[in-house]
Amino acid sequence: MITLGLNRDAADKECRRLAAEVDRYRTDAKAAHEEVKRLEKEIEKLKKVKYRWDTRARCWWPVEGTNIYDMVQKVPYVPLITPKQEGTK
């Protein structure tokens, strides 16, 4: 009788552990799914912006868009090295 009680307690502990693990994986999967959706929306927004090469600034610059703050956030920072700066190094 004692061994049956011990086995039942061990099985109960294992079931609780597995249930907690399943809940953790479900929470992680839901968070990952939401992050994927957010990134897909960001990709779609970036695909709508068209860029052109600015030879004077030597970088890509958005062609469309009237809000300068949105444009600045989408354009990566590219350091500009002028010929004078290259010669002084």
pLDDT one-digit tens code per residue, 24-73: 988 999 999 999 999 998 888 877 777 778 787 788 777 765 566 666 66
Closest alpha carbon to 75 in 87, 63, 88, 89: 63
Residue 87 has what pLDDT?
Answer: 55
Residue 11 has which token pair? 């099985």
- pLDDT over threshold 70, residue 21: yes
